[in-house]
DNA sequence: AAGACGAAAGTGGTTGA
DNA sequence: TCAACAACTTTCGTCTT
């Protein structure tokens, strides 16, 4: 066999050729590689993109038959952060046989022996890997229970990898860190879930989760946009089976109250709840404070306080407005 | 009777000395 | 590290519909 490419996914056909060894500034890992299908230089350890818009200098092969299109494909399976080895690891078999089942020559055999030894010594089977495997299954469970879409799961998995590299998991429970990364990922993608909701779905109490979350933000220097009450109302409104009219009105109310400075320092959940309450009354689809408080996971008192402010400052007369 | 309201005391997190 | 503080929660009694 004289194939020049034995990378498992086939994506590295011309990669690594003359590129100088480079360490990742983020995690120090030396597994930086060229991803020519995306034109990026990526750290294999944490996923950091070091540079992008690089040019694929490989031959412009075209495929004329299905056979060729297979062998000349420049892409492999997508790297997935939710699979603990990103779905890309190479496994060296323990049998001393080649792919057709023949015994290996003595020189080849000792070569394979060395490779196998180093593979085992390398991080492939390290504690990080076992940790990741466990974490990813927990992530999968948690995310599907909360109905979190794939892209957010992937982001969460990426954050978890980083937190392992930064040694944040040591001394903390895997579950707590997984939940924290998931919560963070949701917020980063502007699909926030209440902390309580995430805490309930995992077996982590809210306090621990909050601690892990803050640690995550601090250690990884992540900037998370302040959660906007507007991001919640779609979900809340559908849980309360309110019409889209009410949703629109709620958004208007929230925008107005932001202009009035009513939103500073206030719990976004409470604001969302109060705005929904007002809008539901305005449009004659009234829900009780308790119902709304329940889906928003705040107390009736909070709904009431925000509601009072809203009515007062915005000059809304809920009785006469229709 | 259910829902809304309001007061008072308690809780957990943030801030500044 | 600690106290002060703001926002929120819990609890409970009262008023309104």
Quote the pLDDT of residue A290: 93
Chain B bases near protein CB atoms (7 A cut-off) = 2-8, 12-14
Handedness of CA A95, A98, A104, A110 (dihedral sign): negative
Q: How many CB atoms lie within 10 A of CB A207?
A: 10
Looking at residue A302, which CATH number applies to its domain?
A: 1.10.472.10
Asked if residue A115 belongs to a domain, the reply is no
Q: Are the C-beta atoms of A219 and A163 separated by less than 8 Å?
A: yes
- Asked, for residue A309, whether it belongs to a domain, the answer is yes
Q: Is the domain of A203 the same as that of A245?
A: no
What residue numbers bound the domain in which A20 lies?
Answer: 8-51
Domain end (from A198, A220, A242): A220
DSSP per-residue letters across A36-51? TTTTEEEETTT--EEE
Is strand B in 7 Å reach of the CB of A308?
yes
Whose C1' is closest to the CA of A266: which nucleotide?
Answer: C7
The reported pLDDT for the residue numbered A64 is 62
A227, A266 Cβ separation under 8 angstroms: no
pLDDT score recorded for residue A78 = 67
Which residues neighbour strand C (beta carbon < 7 Å)? A 265-267, 270, 297-302, 305-306
User: How far is residue A253's CA from residue A265's CA, in Å, rounded to a whole number?
Assistant: 17
Q: What is the pTM of this model?
A: 0.69
pLDDT of the residue at A7: 40
CA of A184 to C1' of C9 (A): 25
Q: Verify that A132 and A190 share a domain, yes or no.
A: yes
Please report whether residue A171 resides in a domain.
yes
Helix, strand or coil, per DSSP, at residue A300: helix
Mean pLDDT for each consecutive 10-residue tract of chain A (322 residues)? 40 40 68 65 70 58 62 64 65 68 78 74 65 90 92 93 86 88 91 88 85 85 84 92 93 89 86 92 92 92 90 67 42
- How many domains does one find in chain A? 3
Same domain? For A133 and A210 the reply is: yes
In this prediction, residue A8 carries a pLDDT of: 41
């Amino acid at each position: 066999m004289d194939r020049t490419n034995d990378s498992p996914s086939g994506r590295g056909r011309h990669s690594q050729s003359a590129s100088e060894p480079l360490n990742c500034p983020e995690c120090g890992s030396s597994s930086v590689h060229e991803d020519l299908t995306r034109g990026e230089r990526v750290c294999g350890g944490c996923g950091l993109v070091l540079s992008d818009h690089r040019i694929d200098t490989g031959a412009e092969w075209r495929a004329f038959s299905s056979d060729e299109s297979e062998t000349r494909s420049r892409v492999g399976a997508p790297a997935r952060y939710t699979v603990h080895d990103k779905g890309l690891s190479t496994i060296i078999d323990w049998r001393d046989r080649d792919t057709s089942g023949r015994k290996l020559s003595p020189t080849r055999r000792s070569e394979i022996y060395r490779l196998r030894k180093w593979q085992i010594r390398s991080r492939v089977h390290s504690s990080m890997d076992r940790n990741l495997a466990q974490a990813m299954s927990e992530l999968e469970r948690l995310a599907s229970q909360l109905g979190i879409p794939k892209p957010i799961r992937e982001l969460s998995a990426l954050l978890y990898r980083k937190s392992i590299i930064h040694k944040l998991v040591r001394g903390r429970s895997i579950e707590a860190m997984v939940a924290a990364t998931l919560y963070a990922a949701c917020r980063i993608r502007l699909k926030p879930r209440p902390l309580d909701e995430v805490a309930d779905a995992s077996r982590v109490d809210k306090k621990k989760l909050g601690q892990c979350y803050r640690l995550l933000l601090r250690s990884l220097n992540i900037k998370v946009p302040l959660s906007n009450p507007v991001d919640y109302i779609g979900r809340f409104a559908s849980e309360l089976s309110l019409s889209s009219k009410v949703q629109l009105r709620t958004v208007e109310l929230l925008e107005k109250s932001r202009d009035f400075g009513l939103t500073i320092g206030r719990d976004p959940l409470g604001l969302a709840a109060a705005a929904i309450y007002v809008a539901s009354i305005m449009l004659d689809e009234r829900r009780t404070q308790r119902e709304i408080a329940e889906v928003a996971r705040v107390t009736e008192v909070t709904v009431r306080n925000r509601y009072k402010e809203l009515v007062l400052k915005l000059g809304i007369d809920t009785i006469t407005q229709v």
